[in-house]
Amino acid sequence: MMDERRLLDPQSFNPRRLPHEYIHFGYGLHNCFGTQMNKALLPLMLKPLLKRQNLRRAPGPEGVLSKRGAFAERLRVNYD
């Protein structure tokens, strides 16, 4: 996913990349069995949150993304 020989500007988010260019859940024979559950459940969980009025990061350190290794762990948000 970060090989500049394979991807143009691998450090940037590009929603038009092909599925095999993002391998968060593996690829081919090594595909995670949770992929299909995530494709179904994540939109159901995130759409109501993202529709909130004035959605924004929480102030101060709570509004900074914390990670566990390569994975996002917490990002607190506020909304009206």
Taking only the tens place, the pLDDT of each residue in 13-68 is 888 888 778 777 787 788 888 888 888 998 999 999 999 999 999 999 999 999 98
Q: Which residues contact 74 (CB under 8 A, 6 or more apart)?
A: 65, 66
* φ, ψ of residue 35 in degrees (nearest 5): -55, -50
Helix (H, G, I), strand (E, B) or coil at 15: coil
Q: What percent of the chain has pLDDT over 70?
A: 100
User: Which H or E element spans position 68?
Assistant: strand 66-68
- What is the rounded CA–CA span in Å between residue 48 and residue 68? 25
Q: Return the structure tokens found at 66.
A: 């914390």
Question: Look-up: residue for tokens 């459940």?
Answer: 41
User: What pLDDT sits at residue 11?
Assistant: 84
